[in-house]
Amino acid sequence: MSGHEQERLSAFLDDELAPAERAAVEQHLAACAECQARLGELAAADRAAASLPAEPPAGYFESFPGRVRARLEARRTPRGLPAWTWAAAAVLLLAVVTPLTLSRRAELAAPRAQPTAAAPVLDRAMSREQPAPAAAAQEAAAPPAAAAPLAAVPEPKAAPVRAYGERAEKKTEAAAPRPPAAAEPAPATRQDGFAAAPGEADAREAAATARPLEPQASAPARDAVGSEEEAVRVLDEAAAPEARTAEGRGQSKRARDALASTAQAKDDAAAGGEAGLGSARAGAPAAAGVAASPRMLTVEDEWQRLDSARPSTAVEWRELREEWRHFAARRPDAPRADEARVRVVEAGREAWRASGEATDEAVFRRDAAAYLAREDAAQPERVRRLLR
Amino acid sequence: MPRPPVPYHSREVMGPEESFLIARARRGDAAAFEEIVRLYQRRVYGVALRIVRAHDVADDVAQEAFLRAWRSLERFELGRPFGPWVCRIAANLAVNHVRSPRAREQGLPEAHAETRARAPGPLGELLDAEAAGVLDTALAQLPPEQRAVLVMRAVEEMSYAEIADALGLSPGTVMSRLFRARERLAVALRPYLGRAAERRKAGAG
């Protein structure tokens, strides 16, 4: 058999011959024991070559993905848009938002004892508002109906300007560290808030949301309120339309927080995309400045915002983790809630990777375990992989 | 006996989860890409090691293959299997490396600790440890281009057209290189294959 014919034998093995050639080889093979043996040898060569193990040193595959990632992150620029567009957007945003935000902040903080307390929160607010600069500008431009009367009340601490729901939680974290679990909003409460709620339900929710903020209230403010029931009453009043007349009655810090929280609830509702303007109007007038703004972030917008987030530090990963948590908690039945819950675990893992801290690891493992314990977990394998 | 004709790309079906990871990676999500790397690292490293035959070089090649895949993700057609695509990149890089003047100067390790059979695996039935050593040496002595073609066919089960595309060859060249590689291995293994066949007969009888 010639070299060329043997080559055809090899190609026959791979089923790479034209039908006519193939038929010819088959015919020859049927009659030629020698070629049958040759074919067996060629096939054995393949099997032998494939069966030699190709093993790296122990532990290699554990670290390899991380090393690749470190390299690609070292030289990355944001995908999709050229780098300069992001820089330009950031500059434009700062130019528009900073004066507006600062003027509003001055308005809010003028008579207060510790105006600096608001600064980090405002900084964060600005950085957060980047994905929706137009909306942020509108909000900042809208005159807050209740801000002026409230500003007249002497306060120990400046209230933050709230644009997104989570800021209240962040601020609390900054003011009084507490276990991460406490940062989780009660899903049921939030759910209620998102249905087009009548004013009272809104106010109740505001009260419920306000309670975790209590550690912030200064001692004198707490005294002024007296009891929990009293606080709720004050909150209800504050949230009701006649609350306008409540100015000058010496509202407590807690009531202020409640108002801010009502605004937060409005924002959350807007972000949830389910709150009609009717619901916004039914809510506290204190929130009108925010709620009446035409900003209606849809779930899709929120998703896009979180999905496109590119944290680079442990702090940012933690924030993203909590935002995904928030997203999932607000929409616990939505199909994408499952994905959001996985993202919580993913972001948690990244936070841990970035910080190397045991607390981040604990949160990551707890979130992963909580996900895997869910009956409706749709992607357990993905989370198990994260745990490996 | 000949393999059933199965097109390479239909042998692997990309799961929705994987598509989703790739879609995310395309938008610049490094965490998603890391997961993709985790899924395919063994294959990519295996292809690279079998061609370059040195762990350090295979490591470089595998990393570079994934980095290139990351950079050209936009060109990757969603829904197609990612594995063959990244393996082609790796094979191409590995061949370019062994063809480079520097690699030729240094020479290739003849016997390679990482690829040598260490325990009776699937090969154990076919060949003993001595035969595995002979096979390893025979592979090391193949011209790198032949070895690359053999690895892509025997390990990755790529079609001639796919191998040709990855290495910039004609399908005819792929066919002849593959045959020569197989023949050299077959010659080296002939005594052992006979022995294995006798052992099987003895075991059966």
> Do residues B145 and B99 lie in contact, with contact meaning Cβ atoms separated by under 8 Å?
yes
Q: A170 CA to chain B: closest CA distance, Å? A: 25
Rama region for A323: left / alpha / beta (φ>0; ψ in -120 to 50; rest): alpha
Q: B12 Cβ partners below 8 Å, 6+ apart?
A: B81, B83, B84
Q: How far apart are CA B36 and CA B42, in angstroms?
A: 11
**Chain A residue at shortest CA distance from B137:** A49
CA distance A40 to chain B (A): 8
H or E element that contains A330: helix A314-330
Max CA distance (Å), chain B: 62
Put simply, the answer to whether B123 touches A52 (Cβ < 8 Å) is yes
For the record, the structure tokens of A287 come out as 């929130």
Determine whether the interchain pair B155/A50 forms a contact, defined as Cβ–Cβ distance below 8 Å.
yes
Interface-testing mutation among B134, B178, B189, with chain A (most A C-beta atoms within 10 A): B178
Give the H or E element holding residue B16: helix B16-26
Any idea what DSSP says for residue A159?
P
**Burial (CB count <10 Å: 0-12, 13-18, 19+), residue A296:** middle
Q: Which residues of A305-322 are buried (b: 16+ CB within 10 A; e: fewer)?
A: bbeebbbeebebbbbbbb
Quote the minimal CA–CA distance from A370 to chain B in Å. 21
Supply A357's token pair: 């801290």
By Cβ distance, the residue of A56, A65, A310 closest to B34 is A65
d(CA A368, CA A387): 8
Cβ contact, residue pair B30, A46, below 8 Å:
no
Nearest-Cα distance to chain A for B116, in Å, is 6
The shortest C-alpha distance from B15 to chain A (Å) reads: 12
Which pLDDT band, with edges at 50, 70 and 90, does B36 fall under? Answer: very high
Closest partner residue to B189 (CB to CB) among A45, A67, A379 is A45
Asked if the Cβ–Cβ distance from B45 to A68 is below 8 Å, we say: no
Q: Which of A109, A91, A89 is nearest to A101 (CA)?
A: A109
List the single best residue of A9, A16, A36 to mutate versus B (max B Cβ within 10 A). A16
Beta-carbon count within 10 A of A53 CB? 16
Interface size A-B, in CB pairs within 8 Å, comes to 171
ipTM of the assembly?
A: 0.80
Burial class (CB in 10 A: 0-12, 13-18, 19+), B33: buried
| Residue reference for tokens 């306000």 | A210
Q: How far apart are CA B75 and CA B26, in angstroms?
A: 10
Within 8 A of B4 by CB-CB distance, chain A residues are 15
Lowest mean pLDDT among A293-297, B35-39, B87-91: A293-297
Contacts of A102 (CB under 8 A, 6+ apart): none
Taking CA–CA distances from A68, the nearest residue in chain B reads B63
Q: How many residues does chain B have?
A: 205
Phi, psi angle pair for B185, to nearest 5°: -65, -40
| Helix A19-31 and helix A3-13, axial crossing angle in degrees, nearest 10 | 110
b vs e for B64-99, b when ≥16 Cβ sit within 10 Å of the residue's Cβ? Answer: bbbbebbeebeebeeeebbbbbbbbbbbbbbbebbe
Q: pLDDT value at position A103?
A: 64
Residue, of B43 and A134, whose pLDDT is higher: B43
- Asked if B5 and A15 come within 8 Å (Cβ–Cβ), the reply is yes
With beta carbons less than 8 A apart as the criterion, state whether A18 and B119 touch: no
User: Would you state the pLDDT for residue B9?
Assistant: 41
Q: Do B31 and A80 touch (CB under 8 A)?
A: no
B57, B112 contact by CB (below 8 A): no
DSSP string for residues in A213-243: GGGGS-HHHHHHH-SHHHHHHHHHHHHSGGG
The lowest-confidence range among A83-87, B9-13, B70-74, B87-91 is B9-13
Q: What pLDDT sits at residue B201?
A: 57
Q: Which residues of B touch A63 (CB under 8 A)?
A: none
Residues of A in contact with B190 (CB under 8 A): 41
pLDDT tens for A25-71 read: 999 999 999 999 889 889 988 888 888 778 899 999 999 999 999 99
B117: confidence class by pLDDT, cuts 50, 70, 90: very low
Using only C-alpha atoms, chain B has a radius of gyration, in whole angstroms, of 18
Whether A69 sits inside 8 A of B115 (CB atoms) is no
CB-CB: which of A13, A44, A65 is closest to B41? A65
Ranges of residues in chain A whose predicted pLDDT is under 70:
1-3, 76-87, 92, 96-297
Q: Do A382 and B17 touch (CB under 8 A)?
A: yes
- Give the amino acid at B155: V
CA gap A45, B186 in Å, rounded: 5
Look at the block and give the residue holding tokens 């004709």: B5
Pairwise pLDDT comparison (A149 vs B25), residue with the higher score = B25
Q: Distance from B35 to chain A by nearest Cα, in Å?
A: 7
pLDDT at A62: 93
C-alpha separations of B4 from A50, B7, B129 in Å? 18, 9, 31
Q: Residue A31: which residues within 8 A CB-CB, separation 6 or more?
A: none
- Inform me whether the pLDDT recorded for B50 exceeds 50: yes
In this structure, the number of other CB atoms found within 10 A of the CB of residue A248 comes to 9
pLDDT, residue A6, reads 82
